[in-house]
């Protein structure tokens, strides 16, 4: 019965092909350094999951943002754990993305035929930093307020269009409710959507070209 059901589903969904195409692939001999990419992907998944939980209680308005986080930390069951994981996972994610990049650079894995995998990877790094920057403001505390003031000021140093960029980021001349809602929208929708698409392309390219082998004397 079970095998009949499996056969029926497999005929329609193609488990076996998926298994052959995605999992049962030959790979060059790897080391623990090769796990940095998948570890980053794992942290991204953690961020999405804990982020969704935080979203249930967080309110993106200057009046309530701080209090809603106090509520998450003190009242919600395991709220402190979810926020703690989200916070530390963000920190580790930046660190791992950076280490992953260094590993790829050191083994020259960005060379033919994997040039585009590297380019997408750099965009992933920038988007991750963007997630860090936008997420930093959301607790609406002293540190986030003043750090974002400085960060948006620095964006204003771009010759010519600097003032426009600062105004667009802040939604006005000063940090305000608008800034908070813009950063919130970027943090929970725009950047995660971008990250998901970029990760998809990155993974597709990795499967297409296979993981790179460690270079030998002859390479």
Partner 1 sequence: MDEKFKQRVQSRYQQALQRGERFWPDSIYKDLLVSLGLFLLLIGLATFVGVEPEPRVDPNDTAYVPRPEWYFLFLFEFLKFIPGQLEWVGAIVVPGIGVTVLLLLPFIDRNFYRHYSKRVLALTVMGVIVVDIVMLTIMAFAPAPAPEQSAIKSMQMWAGLIIPAMTLILLYAFSGILKEPASQRKTMITTASIAAIAIIVLAGGSAFTLQRNAPPKEKVAVAGTIPEQIAQGEELYAVNCTECHGADGDVTVIQGVEGLDGKVVTPISSKDVMYTFTDDTLFNIISDGLPELGMVPFGTASGGELSPGEIGAIVTYMRYTWDDRVEVPEAAQGGGIPALAEGEVPSYDVHIAPLTKRYCVSCHRAGKENNNYLMTSYEEMLNTGDNAPNVVAGDANSILLQVIQGHEVEGKTGTINIMPPNGKLLKDEYVDMLIRWVMAGMPQTAEDAAAAATPAP
11 contributes a contact to partner 1 by CB under 8 A = no
57 contributes a contact to partner 1 by CB under 8 A = no
- Smallest distance from the beta carbon of 41 to partner 1, in angstroms? 9
74 contributes a contact to partner 1 by CB under 8 A = no
Burial 63-98 (b: 16+ CB within 10 A, else e): eebeebbeebeeebeebeebbebbeebbeebbebbe
Question: According to CB under 8 A, which one of 88, 164, 189, 204 is a site residue for partner 1?
Answer: 88
Positive or negative, the CA dihedral 23, 29, 31, 36 is negative
27 contributes a contact to partner 1 by CB under 8 A = yes
Determine if residue 78 is left, alpha or beta; phi over 0 gives left, psi from -120 to 50 gives alpha, anything else beta: left
- Angle between helices 142-155 and 177-185 in degrees, nearest 10: 80
Long-range contacts of 140-148 (CB under 8 A, 24+ apart): 140/62, 140/65, 140/66, 140/69, 140/180, 141/66, 145/175, 148/175, 148/179, 148/183
Question: According to CB under 8 A, which one of 53, 58, 140, 184 is a site residue for partner 1?
Answer: 140
14 contributes a contact to partner 1 by CB under 8 A = no
53 contributes a contact to partner 1 by CB under 8 A = no
49 contributes a contact to partner 1 by CB under 8 A = no
Cα dihedral: 51, 55, 57, 63 (round 10):
110
Question: According to CB under 8 A, which one of 126, 185, 193, 197 is a site residue for partner 1?
Answer: 126
The footprint of partner 1 on residues 182-211 (CB under 8 A) is 210-211
- Smallest distance from the beta carbon of 193 to partner 1, in angstroms? 21
Q: Which stretch binds partner 1 (CB under 8 A): 5-13, 147-155, 182-190, 196-204?
A: 147-155
- Smallest distance from the beta carbon of 186 to partner 1, in angstroms? 16
């Amino acid at each position: 019965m079970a095998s009949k059901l499996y056969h029926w589903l497999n005929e329609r969904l193609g488990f076996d092909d998926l298994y052959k195409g995605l999992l049962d692939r030959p790979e060059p001999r790897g080391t623990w350094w090769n796990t940095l990419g998948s570890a980053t992907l794992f942290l991204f998944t953690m961020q999405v999951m804990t982020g969704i939980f935080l979203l249930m209680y967080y309110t993106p308005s200057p009046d309530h943002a701080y209090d809603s986080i106090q509520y998450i930390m003190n009242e919600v069951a395991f709220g402190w754990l979810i926020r703690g994981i989200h916070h530390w996972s963000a920190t580790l994610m930046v660190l791992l993305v950076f280490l992953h990049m260094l590993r790829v650079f050191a083994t020259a894995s960005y060379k033919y035929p994997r040039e585009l995998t590297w380019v997408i990877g750099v965009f992933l790094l920038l988007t991750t930093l963007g997630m860090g920057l936008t997420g930093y403001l959301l607790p609406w505390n002293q540190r986030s307020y003043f750090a974002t003031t400085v960060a948006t000021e620095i964006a204003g140093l771009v010759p010519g269009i600097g003032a426009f960029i600062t105004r667009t980021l802040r939604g006005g001349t000063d940090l305000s409710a608008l800034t908070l809602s813009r950063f919130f929208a970027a943090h929970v929708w725009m950047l995660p959507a971008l990250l998901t698409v970029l990760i998809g392309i990155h993974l597709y390219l990795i499967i297409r070209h296979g993981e790179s082998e460690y270079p030998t004397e002859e390479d």
